[in-house]
Amino acid sequence: MVAAPQLEIYYDGSCAFCQWARAVIEPWDTHSRLSFLDYNDPQVAASTAFSPEELDREMHLRDPYGVWTAGFMAWAGVLRVLPRLAWLGWLLGRPPLRWFGPSLYRWVAGHRNLLPGIPQPCTPESCASRQRPT
């Protein structure tokens, strides 16, 4: 069997919501198609064409061909490569979801530290005791 192309997900590894989202999605990656890269690492950030502000504003995804997507459509791309969630990624890329999805994504991204059930951002003291997802 030919290995599936890998998607590089550029995310904020210091963001509690981003860590939570990664921990939720990784178990669905049964074919090891996703590679999570923390853009807070200077070498990772240097491998992109984006400013720190752009990277912080929304998740970025690079496909095996070097094509970048961000935000809502990046999440749709992630879901499309997960065998059991591909249908959802396909659905998110179609009207009407594709029309209002980016606005919803921007709202969630802007309020990610206020959403119920999401770990609160850590302080230097609490980060030492919190384990990051692997």
CA angle 13-16-19, nearest 5°? Answer: 50
Distance CA 116, CA 62 (A): 30
Residue percentage of the chain with pLDDT more than 70: 81
What is the sign, positive or negative, of the torsion defined by CA atoms of 29, 103, 70, 50?
Answer: negative
What pLDDT, in 10s, does the model give residues 54-67?
998 999 999 999 99
What pLDDT, in 10s, does the model give residues 80-116?
999 999 999 999 999 999 999 999 999 888 877 777 6
Q: Are 132 and 16 in contact (CB under 8 A)?
A: no
Residue 29 pLDDT > 90: yes
